[in-house]
Amino acid sequence: MDILWPISLLFLAALPILVIAYVRAQRGRRSGIRYSSLSLVRDALPGSSRLRRHLPFAAFALALVALIVAFARPVAILSVPTNETTIVLAIDVSRSMCSSDIAPSRLLAAEAAAESFVQSQGAATQIGIVAFSGFGEVIQAPTSDRQLLLSALASLTTGRRTAIGTGLLTALDAIAEVDPNVAPSSTDARPGPPVVPVPKGAYVPDIIVLLTDGANNAGPLPVDAGKQAADRGVRVYTIGFGTAEGGAFDPACAPQFIGREPFGGGFGGGGGNQGGFRRGIDEDTLKQVADATGGAYYPAESADQLKQVFAQLPTNLIAKHEVVEVSVGFVGLGVVLAGLAVLLGRAWRPLP
């Protein structure tokens, strides 16, 4: 259960004051009749007289608690199966993806794993393809046409720099185009209306799978982009792809860069070294993005490991989460307790 207006719970701070006032009032009542003959009668009463004297107030106090909680708007999150799933694959196409440490190159290995993933999904699942380097672009809008998706994957080409945050926001916008419950992203250049964050634990039936072999060096911060996804209830699963040793540049991967490679042929989003690429994955950031959105982070250092990662993504368990406000239940409880306090107070009127 979550609370939409948690600041309203501050009213609960008044309850201790009410209890103290009640205790003082009871002490004043007892001191006022300390020397009367009625005190002897009270001492002779059974122990249940104390329960009768204080139970109406206890019921009244609990009624106030229930009504304050109701005013804070408690909600319950219900998981509902759905066949309206949208998955967006956001794939890093920076130059470092041309490293040959994973044959024939990281990019081609990622394409092959993504193709297997696409073909393994149900016919009703919509999948979109986003490519990002220094900017993000929707290569294929979410669709259930597998041939279009395979053609889009085969068309990927590499570019300069690595804008992970931009890729994530582009994927978020691709989901917003097909799911009216997801608001488009917001940037400094394109500010959008304020978005009310979904309650904690509530998710839309859409996920983003983001694959990268490097660290963000352009565009908005991935953590900031991840917060926008979390506010909209979109889970992000991140994949860090590449080996620690790196590998040489594969000329067949990106022929447009041949003869223009810095570092003697070694460059990449994660840093370059002489004659090849080294692993430069910002795992801490990828974990933060995944954790903030309710997703998970997966490392992969080979083509087989990457296929295993895609195979274990929880795409078969995706469900939409409906937020149901349960304030009326607490209102009803508060009314019942208040009524009980009044009835008991009249039926068990304490002796003076």
By the 8 A CB rule, do 334 and 66 touch? yes
**Helix 222-231 × helix 283-293 angle, to 10°:** 10
CA distance 230 to 224: 10
Pick from 4, 204, 225: which is nearest to 86 by CA? 204
Give the number of other CB atoms < 10 A from CB of residue 196. Answer: 9
Average pLDDT, rounded, for the chain: 79
Give the integer Cα–Cα distance in Å for 313 and 306.
11
Looking at domain 83-317, its CATH class is alpha beta
Q: Given CA atoms 184, 189, 195, 201 in this order, what sign does their dihedral have?
A: positive
- On the 0-12 / 13-18 / 19+ scale of CB atoms within 10 A, 41 is exposed
Residue type, 142: P
**Taking residues 237-243, what's their average pLDDT?**
91
In the structure encoding, which two tokens stand for residue 169, read together?
A: 């926001």
Q: Where are the domains of the chain?
A: 2-77+325-347, 83-317
Residue 40 has pLDDT above 80, yes or no: no
Q: Summarize pLDDT for 113-152 with one digit per residue, the tens.
A: 999 999 988 888 899 999 998 899 999 999 989 999 999 9
Separation CA 134–CA 227 (nearest Å)? 21
Q: Check pLDDT > 80 for residue 222.
A: yes
How many helices (H) and strands (E) would you count in the chain? 10, 11
Segment 302-336, tens digit of pLDDT: 999 999 999 988 876 565 556 666 677 777 877 88
Position 51 confidence tier, pLDDT thresholds 50, 70, 90: low
Q: Is 216 exposed, middle or buried (0-12, 13-18, 19+ CB in 10 A)?
A: buried
pTM of the predicted model, to two decimals?
0.68
